[in-house]
């Protein structure tokens, strides 16, 4: 689950940078990026340990 979260975060950051540089996607990519950051923080704070 952790590697999938990191993959999603990296993809969203790359898409955000492309959208920021080329002005594509408007506010939608920013909203999705904020959601990804919130999910990442929740994942960090939950502290689940895999066995």
Tens digits of per-residue pLDDT, 3-20?
Answer: 787 888 788 778 777 776
- Say what the pLDDT of residue 35 is: 81
- Say what the pLDDT of residue 47 is: 72
Query: Who contacts 36 (Cβ-Cβ below 8 Å, separation ≥6)?
Result: 8, 9, 12
50 pLDDT tier (thresholds 50, 70, 90): low
Contact 39, 4 (CB under 8 A): no
- Say what the pLDDT of residue 13 is: 79
- Say what the pLDDT of residue 1 is: 59
- Say what the pLDDT of residue 44 is: 81
pTM: 0.48
């Amino acid at each position: 689950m952790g590697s999938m979260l990191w993959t999603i975060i990296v993809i969203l950051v790359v898409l955000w940078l492309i959208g920021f540089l080329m002005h594509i996607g408007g506010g939608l990519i920013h909203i999705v990026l904020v959601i990804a950051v919130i999910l990442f923080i929740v994942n960090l704070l939950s502290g689940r340990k895999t066995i």
